[in-house]
Amino acid sequence: MCGIAALFSRRDPVSAATIERATRSLHHRGPDGQRHWISPDRRVALGHARLSIIDLATGDQPIASEDGRTHIIVNGELYGYEAIQRELEASGHHLRTRSDSEIALHLYEDLGPECLHKLRGEFAFVLWDETNRTLFAARDRFGIKPLFYAIHNDTLYFASEVKALFAAGVPARWDAESVYHSIEGGSHQSRTLYDGVFQVPPGHYLIATGKHLQIHQYWDFNYPAADHAPLRSDADYAAEVRHALEEAVRIRLRADVPVGCYLSGGLDSCAVLGLAAKHHADPIRAFSLTFDHPDYDEEKQAKEMAAKANAEFHPIPIRQDDLADNLPGAILQSETFCINAHGVAKYVLSRAVHNAGYKVVLTGEGSDEILAGYPHFRRDMLLYNRNGQDPAQIAALLSNLEKLNPVSRGLLMPDGDARPLENVQRVLGFIPSWIETFSARAAKMQTLLAPDFTAEYGGRESYQPLFSGLDIRKQLTGRDPVHQSLYLWAKTLLPNYILTVLGDRMEMAHSVEGRVPFLDHHLVEVICSQPVSQKIHGTTEKYVLREATRDVITDTVYRRQKHPFVSPPATLNPKQKLSAFVNDTLRGSALTAIPFFNQKNVVGLLDRVGTMDEGARVAYDQVLMLLVSACTLQTGLKLEA
């Protein structure tokens, strides 16, 4: 993994100083070397900050084609590259490196945009095609790797992080409309919190010439119609998933540096570790976070799993003081609003991994998004897949689901009344539980917003921007409600939050590459094709994964219900440092400088939180964390309204 930056000017020459500033701001993503290339006409510049993992000797970038007319910068890992290298050499290409990144360059020369269908892995890259005077940029199918862009003064800018765009000269300003939609939960595939800054959506590529810019989709989930295929046996489905997942894990163990694993007490990371141990000659180092609150700590389950896999168990304790001390740094790395300090915990975890001498870890991210692991998907199953069941039984199951998931209150399960969602109901015919959850949180925030901010944006339908960018008829109509909910989550929360706050940004903050076997597109396509009953079987989530990996996980993990990765809320520890940090921030000048919030009402909420019951404090903690993250971004990125 690395950091990339690029400039394409339609008018004035680009400067070496500009691309150097952008690349230098990404040093944490690539501390092993920084290089750039500027085209002879000085209209194009490519910058690369390298984290060397494959081909330590000759893998520097930018990489040029044999004739020097095509150049590429890549952030990511491309798996199965050795076979493609042999194919390219057999067809007459002469490779300059032995790195995985170079295959994208030559595949583009041969196939153009169709090259993307040959690439497997997590990636974002920018390529300059001198022959056709075309800039080609692409992002992996799930948004594992970030790729932002902006147009300013007739120059097109690209970077792995927004801060690099700002370093290159793009104005640092809030986008008020995007801020409002983000607060409402109505995320967008392309827009960001920042004015004029966009992202290439997952599964898309961008083509820019001197006069035109176009974005095209090359991959989608393509869930089958609800009555699409005849059912097969549970054993067949499990075997199919096992084969695909084991291959996804095996190929992600390929590196020229040591590979470790993140390990919690959950099914996902335990399954990855169990399969990785089968294909790794030596014991794998397993890094686990531990918390000082029993409802959030999974050390016991993780340690048991490490023993089963013969892994080296490496616990990293996280306390409230640690979260407070590291919260600003983690938020600035995320560049987005956060609703829990779990991202801060991952930030601390990745630093511990770096200090232990590791550059690569396998992670369990993505499993819940493709296998309906979160409790709100089970709620959807109960509400919208009743199949003639007794209403009283459904009501009892829903009540039990809420009781078994107290840490998910307001985070993954609805808490309180939601904001109006008529547009969602009209478009989908139902309201996914995660949208209802986010809308209920947005309702809690209404009195905390500035009156003029609400007056300008409050009447807008918050999910309209999302729906306007999707092919509803092709991807959602006729699909099972749970699959529709999964699809919408994967287009929004997966790339914009899970893979950001709990993935790439926290890992790369400390030069650690996270590899996500569950988001191997071959595996995802297998799971998408399977019926909902393999994802949620009765009240058991991720059923097919449990059966597919039962032999490599502990019985505890096999039988355990999903426990979301959440850190203890600041509101539960009012006398500790994190709570003090939240209070000091929201009562101070940082919040005053942001034009979107009513500080008087925010202070009133802070004064009331201590009188609430524990469940309400858990739910309101997310509101406070969102406000704190906004303050941190305002100050750290020096944003203008």
Looking at the fold, whether 207 and 256 belong to one and the same domain comes out as no
C-alpha span between 82 and 89 (Å, rounded): 11
Looking at the fold, whether 47 and 143 belong to one and the same domain comes out as yes
Per the listing, tokens 């042999």 go with 86
Higher pLDDT, 117 or 390: 117
Domain range enclosing 267: 234-370+493-559
Residue 556: in which H helix or E strand, if any?
Answer: helix 555-559
Q: Quick one: 395 exposed, middle or buried, by C-beta within 10 A (0-12, 13-18, 19+)? A: exposed
The one-letter amino acid code at 64 reads: A
Sorted by sequence, the CB contacts under 8 Å of residue 170 that are 6+ apart come out as 150, 152, 157, 196, 197
pLDDT, tens digit (0-9, with 9 covering 90-100), for 462-485: 888 889 999 999 999 999 999 999
Does any domain span residue 481? no
The pLDDT score that the predictor gives to residue 401 is 75
The pLDDT score that the predictor gives to residue 129 is 98
Q: Are 440 and 417 in contact (CB under 8 A)?
A: yes
Does any domain span residue 425? no
Output the average pLDDT for the chain. 93
pLDDT, tens digit (0-9, with 9 covering 90-100), for 518-566: 999 999 999 999 999 999 998 899 999 999 999 999 999 999 887 777 7
Domain CATH for 128: 3.60.20.10
Partners of 151 in the beta sheet? Answer: 156
pLDDT, tens digit (0-9, with 9 covering 90-100), for 82-138: 999 999 999 999 999 889 999 999 999 999 999 999 999 999 999 999 999 999 999
Q: Give Dmax over CA atoms of the chain in angstroms.
A: 73
Looking at the fold, whether 148 and 260 belong to one and the same domain comes out as no
The pLDDT score that the predictor gives to residue 184 is 85
The pLDDT score that the predictor gives to residue 159 is 98
**Final residue in a domain of this structure, among 217, 248, 265:** 217
C-alpha span between 176 and 301 (Å, rounded): 44
pLDDT, tens digit (0-9, with 9 covering 90-100), for 611-633: 998 888 888 899 999 999 999 99
C-alpha span between 371 and 484 (Å, rounded): 13
The pLDDT score that the predictor gives to residue 413 is 76
Q: pLDDT band at residue 286, thresholds of 50, 70 and 90?
A: very high
Does any domain span residue 308? yes
**Final residue in a domain of this structure, among 192, 217, 242:** 217
Categorise residue 628: left if φ over 0, alpha if ψ from -120 to 50, beta otherwise.
Answer: alpha
Phi, psi at residue 349, to the nearest 5°?
-60, -45
Q: pLDDT band at residue 409, thresholds of 50, 70 and 90?
A: low
Of 2, 115, 270, 631, which residue is the catalytic one? Answer: 2
Sorted by sequence, the CB contacts under 8 Å of residue 363 that are 6+ apart come out as 261, 262, 269, 272, 503, 514, 515, 516
Does any domain span residue 436? no
pLDDT, tens digit (0-9, with 9 covering 90-100), for 307-354: 999 999 999 999 989 999 999 999 999 999 999 999 999 999 999 999
Does any domain span residue 538? yes
The pLDDT score that the predictor gives to residue 221 is 97
Looking at the fold, whether 146 and 50 belong to one and the same domain comes out as yes
Does any domain span residue 454? no
Partners of 204 in the beta sheet? Answer: 217
Q: What is the count of structural domains for the chain?
A: 2
Q: Which of 37-41, 363-367, 454-458 has the lowest mean pLDDT?
A: 454-458
Looking at the fold, whether 147 and 99 belong to one and the same domain comes out as yes
**Helix 299-308 and helix 267-278: axis angle, to 10°?**
20
The pLDDT score that the predictor gives to residue 407 is 64
Q: Is residue 631 among the annotated active site residues?
A: no
The one-letter amino acid code at 16 reads: A
Mean pLDDT of 495-505: 96
Is pLDDT above 90 for 456? yes
Nearest to 498 by CA among 611, 613, 604, 364: 364
C-alpha span between 631 and 636 (Å, rounded): 8
Does any domain span residue 224? no
Is pLDDT above 80 for 53? yes
The one-letter amino acid code at 511 reads: S
**Final residue in a domain of this structure, among 531, 559, 587:** 559
Tell me the CA distances in angstroms from 456 to 377, 401, 449, one per residue in order: 33, 38, 11
Looking at the fold, whether 190 and 51 belong to one and the same domain comes out as yes
Q: pLDDT band at residue 1, thresholds of 50, 70 and 90?
A: low
**DSSP-assigned letters across all residues of 496-515:** IIIHIIIIIHHHHTTT-EEE
Percent above pLDDT 90 for the chain: 78
Is pLDDT above 90 for 586? yes
Is pLDDT above 80 for 601? yes
Is pLDDT above 80 for 230? no
Q: Burial letters for 145-181: b for 16+ Cβ neighbours within 10 Å, e otherwise?
A: bbbbbbbeeebbbbbbbbbbbbbbbbebbbbbebbbb
Look up residue 432 and give its two tokens: 């996914």
The pLDDT score that the predictor gives to residue 568 is 82
Looking at the fold, whether 39 and 187 belong to one and the same domain comes out as yes
Q: Which of 258-267, 449-458, 559-568, 620-629 has the lowest mean pLDDT?
A: 559-568
Does any domain span residue 618? no
Looking at the fold, whether 272 and 188 belong to one and the same domain comes out as no
pLDDT, tens digit (0-9, with 9 covering 90-100), for 150-175: 999 999 999 999 999 999 999 999 99
Looking at the fold, whether 268 and 143 belong to one and the same domain comes out as no
Domain CATH for 246: 3.40.50.620
Mean pLDDT of 437-464: 90
**Helix 577-586 and helix 320-334: axis angle, to 10°?**
50
C-alpha span between 412 and 201 (Å, rounded): 24
Q: pLDDT band at residue 388, thresholds of 50, 70 and 90?
A: low
Looking at the fold, whether 169 and 263 belong to one and the same domain comes out as no
Tell me the CA distances in angstroms from 410 to 375, 376, 413, 414, 560, one per residue in order: 12, 11, 5, 5, 22
Residue 491: in which H helix or E strand, if any?
Answer: helix 481-491
Percent above pLDDT 70 for the chain: 97
Q: Which of 40-44, 67-71, 351-355, 387-391 has the lowest mean pLDDT?
A: 387-391
**Helix 481-491 and helix 433-445: axis angle, to 10°?**
50
Looking at the fold, whether 30 and 174 belong to one and the same domain comes out as yes
C-alpha span between 267 and 556 (Å, rounded): 10
Looking at the fold, whether 129 and 14 belong to one and the same domain comes out as yes
